[in-house]
Amino acid sequence: MIEVAGLARTYHVGEVEVPALRGVDLRIEAGEFVAVMGPSGSGKSTFMNLLGGLDRADAGRYLLAGEDVSRLDADQLSAVRNRALGFVFQSFNLLPRASALENVELPLVYAGVHAGERHRRALAKLAQVGLAERAHHLPSQLSGGQQQRVAIARALVNAPALILADEPTGALDTRTSLEVMALLQALNDEGMTLVLVTHEPDIARFARRILVFRDGHLVEDRPVAGRQSAAALLAQEGA
């Protein structure tokens, strides 16, 4: 699914060069669930932005499902983001004056899908995340967990190959975080490839593999030992 070789990115702050990534080599196979960790300034957010086509590397190569993303122009990158990638953010990034349904439809609007088909697909994804009955509610009428579920439905609506989740539980309480992670684990069990950035070791343990960045280098790449089931933990809480 993902192959990067020699991936490097340096930012310029005035006359100062700030290396963010220093030549990362990595493969992520289709169907994996990978957690990306590291302290602030480690390079993990830069890595995520490069995977999402939100930034460009200064050096190296990035293949997404065999396509050399590092060689695409801005319009081609935008098309890849809309077609192949789904994004989930800590702050949900929902349009405040649009309903849940309209928020989920947004990627389909950009893709030129006609209204009837947009409604059908968006409602199906809201049902998948357990929010069909909230389709016409505004974000302000939803809890934080429900807003994140809308964001996940929006990420799924174009049937992407890869979901990129940046601190998706960062603004949520413990139980709601478990609910969101249970949903992401269920998606992974169905074959979805997920890459998740988190500062929280407990959240990383819901993934299958952990990458640790430090000072722009990938310093650890290990499978998750004793992987937790968020759904099982929720069931224990409810018992």
Number of domains in the chain: 1
pLDDT digits (tens, 9 = 90+) for 50-76: 998 888 889 999 999 888 888 888 888
* Residue 109 falls inside a structural domain: no
Highest mean pLDDT among 48-57, 93-102, 168-177: 93-102
What span, in angstroms and rounded, lies between the C-alpha atoms of 142 and 145? Answer: 8
pTM: 0.90
* Residue 208 falls inside a structural domain: yes
What is the bridge-based pairing of β-strands 16-28 and 2-13?
A: antiparallel
CATH classification at residue 178: 3.40.50.300
* Residue 120 falls inside a structural domain: no
pLDDT digits (tens, 9 = 90+) for 206-236: 999 999 999 999 999 999 988 889 999 988 8
Domain of 223, in residue numbers: 2-92+161-238
* Residue 88 falls inside a structural domain: yes
Are 120 and 108 in contact, with CB atoms under 8 Å apart?
A: no
